[in-house]
Amino acid sequence: MPNTLADYRHRLADTAGFNVQTVTTAGASQANQVVVSDFLSTELEPSFLGNTWEYQPAGPNAGQVRRVAYQGLDPTTGIITLERAHSVNTPMATAIEIIGRLPPKRYEGRLGLNDLVNKVLAECWTVQKLPIPAVQDQRVYPVGSLFPWLQAEDQVVEVYYRAEGLEPNDDDQLMINWRWVPGGDNPGIEIAQTLNDGDTLLPQLYVPMSRWIFPSSGTGFGLAVTEGLQNEADQAILPMLGMEIVGAAWVFLELSKWGLPDDQASYRQQRAQARAAANQWKRLTLQHPKVRKQHWPSVLTVRSRDNYGYGYTVLTPG
């Protein structure tokens, strides 16, 4: 089931350790305050919200992040004082988030949870056939400008084609002979059997999930014009469990950059454990299609930077 940027951010906030989603219960009299009755309590101290950030995903201050003042909570009134003012006073019934440990988005020099969401999506993948319009008798199809992440042969699962005029239920045809053509920032796919104008070349590729999204302004999933989820309602296909497991490694990595030396060492250790769990989840859950070994007379090994989850060199036809 697809999930939005907001869904993923909330799950990473839970993983980091502090996540409150609520609404203001009165209009603020000052631009550096919000009023939330959830924090009316005789048990809370003024410093309860120290080292947290307030975020408004919608409304007149949409997208603005503010650090909560260290002694910023008045538990007798529910007034939360922020370290600096919003653009306008926050009205009643405005959705707000109080996020701890890491800010909701990049702020004060720190990567935020939205940034970590997109880093998780970038290291996970889906397998898709992506269309390239055929050109009469053309043998090499450059792919660098079409698919900027496609830089190595092991990111190609297979190559198919579709002749013009086929019925929707007709199968795509296998391109028997094809090979990878290195080309700096614009590599290509060479085919032995040329196609005609109107045909479609269909390379089946590992696509980073940060590139395969459903933008809130769009009509379905497809290649993103801008990489990553940008708006609250943008969607990706990574299961929520995957965001939690893989995201934990990124959360601990970011936390290890701040605080006391002992705390940093502890977070680095937790990050190592979380990375092992993330790699295991990717190995067991994400797609690993079987690759045809022979699709050109010779073979060579071309490794990508990430090698898409394999811990060893993959021998692929070239």
Q: Are 250 and 119 in contact (CB under 8 A)?
A: yes
E-strand stretches of 46-165: 52-56, 64-74, 79-82, 95-100, 125-129, 132-133, 140-142, 156-162
Domain with CATH 2.60.40 in the chain: 125-208+288-317
Distances from the Cα of 147 to the Cα of 85, 97, 133, 158, 181, angstroms: 42, 36, 14, 16, 15
Give the Cα separation of 37 and 40 in Å (integer): 5
The pLDDT of residue 79: 97
Q: Give the three-class secondary structure for 260.
A: coil
The pLDDT of residue 185: 85
Q: Are 157 and 288 in contact (CB under 8 A)?
A: no
The pLDDT of residue 184: 82
pLDDT tens, position by position, 52-105: 999 999 999 999 999 999 999 999 999 999 999 999 999 999 999 999 999 999
Domain with CATH 2.40.30 in the chain: 18-100
Give the Cα separation of 36 and 110 in Å (integer): 26
State phi, psi for 140 to the nearest 5 degrees: -110, 125
Residues of the chain with pLDDT under 50: 310, 312, 314-318
> DSSP assignment, residue 139?
-
Give the Cα separation of 294 and 253 in Å (integer): 41
Partners of 162 in the beta sheet?
200
Architecture of domain 125-208+288-317: Sandwich (2.60)
Give me 223's structure tokens.
Answer: 């290649």
The pLDDT of residue 243: 97
The pLDDT of residue 297: 73
Can you give the length of the chain in residues?
318
CATH topology for the 18-100 domain:
Elongation Factor Tu (Ef-tu); domain 3 (2.40.30)
